[in-house]
Amino acid sequence: MKDELLTTDEICEWLKVTRRTIERWRKNGLPFFKIGSSVRFNKEEVLKWIEQNSKQQN
């Protein structure tokens, strides 16, 4: 899982959220990178980001 890379569609399916939500999260700091014009997400980094940001709201 350490280097598991996900596309936008895969991350939407995994997290059960819309593409719009992912776009909004990206603007708020969700870590991603591009390979050419393709956006990719590192699953481990996304989990860390969600954990850090959900703690701020509690």
Instruction: State percent of the chain over pLDDT 70.
Output: 91
Cα 13–chain centre separation: 11
Write down the pLDDT at residue 55.
72
Q: pLDDT-based confidence at 31, cuts 50/70/90?
A: very high
Helical spans, DSSP H, in the chain = 8-15, 19-27, 43-57
Q: What is the mean pLDDT of residues 22-47?
A: 97
**For range 20-45, the mean pLDDT:** 97
Q: Looking at the 3D structure of the chain, how many domains does it have?
A: 1
CATH code of the domain containing 48: 1.10.1660
What's the predicted TM-score (pTM) here?
0.83
Q: What radius of gyration do the chain's Cα atoms show? A: 11
The pLDDT score that the predictor gives to residue 54 is 87
**Domain of 36?**
5-57
pLDDT at 1 over 90: no
